[in-house]
Amino acid sequence: EVQVVESGGGLVQPGGSLRLSCAVSGTSATTYWVDWVRQAPGKGLVWVSRIHSDGRFAKYADSVKGRFTISRDNAKNPVYLQMDSLRAEDTAVYYCSILPPGDWGQGTLVTVSS
Amino acid sequence: QAVLTQEPSLTVSPGGTVTLTCGSNTGAVTSGHYPYWFQQKPGQAPRTLIYDTTFKHSWTPARFSGSLIGDKAALTLSGAQPEDEADYYCMFVYGGLVVFGGGTKLTVL
């Protein structure tokens, strides 16, 4: 059974930083993408970033480019999302997902507020 | 950046059939966009129903199916159940970038 577990969320002041982790286990897929998707309170799903399972080919949404960095050392290590220069509009539940076929974690809440 | 358009809300009767669609402002949707469909219930994480246009996840009920209809991606629910009431999101991949639709609120009534 595939397990996806996010961690690292919390309360941070505007301009601050936070690092989220996504641990993946149990997948038999040899290649896949690890995506970060966020959902602000009462809003829809918004894609943030993705990285290939081998740790290469990172992609970012325009809204976070230059502020967020996704990384992974190798397929056995967690995927990290380093979030810098955080803004109030970054407040959301951040989900990690494995695509394909689409296994999701339960999410971690990030609140940016003074 | 592409914008995906979904019906904001739909209502289906128990046991009925409904089709949710997802179109793109960039043109016709193809299998090359790897269409995904997700279901999300209040307070829960999203759950993948369909990936790569037609493929079902291991937990996807048989009553859900994915397809391309005209120039859109489609999710068809045949034999709606009360537990299918939820928000449904489509997602496409464009040259490595990912875009979500705004979601459809499905009511089973």
| Backbone dihedral angles phi then psi of residue B14, each to the nearest 5 degrees | -55, 130
DSSP letter for A14, please. T
A105 contacts B45? CB cut-off 8 A:
yes
Question: What tokens appear for A48 in the block?
Answer: 């943030």
The torsion region of residue A18 among left (phi > 0), alpha (psi -120 to 50) and beta comes to beta
User: 């995927």: which residue's tokens?
Assistant: A79
| Chain A residues within an 8 Å CB radius of B102 | 44
CB nearest A59 (choices: B34, B87, B97): B97
Four-CA torsion B11, B77, B43, A28, nearest 10 degrees: -170
DSSP line for B45-108:
--EEEEETTTEEPTT--TTEEEEEETTEEEEEEES--GGG-EEEEEEEEETTEEEEB--EEEEE
Mean pLDDT of each 10-residue bin along chain B, 109 residues long: 95 98 96 96 97 95 98 98 98 93 98
Q: Is B67 on the interface with A (CB under 8 A)?
A: no
Cα B56 from Cα B37, distance rounded (Å) = 10
B36 contacts A99? CB cut-off 8 A:
yes
- The confidence score (pLDDT) of residue A54 equals 84
Cα B24 from Cα B2, distance rounded (Å) = 7
CB nearest A102 (choices: B40, B51, B101): B51
B46 contacts A95? CB cut-off 8 A:
yes
Q: Is B3 on the interface with A (CB under 8 A)?
A: no
Cα B1 from Cα A46, distance rounded (Å) = 13
- The confidence score (pLDDT) of residue A27 equals 82
Q: Is B63 on the interface with A (CB under 8 A)?
A: no
pLDDT (tens digit, 9 = 90+) per residue, A78-110? 999 999 999 999 999 999 999 888 999 999 999
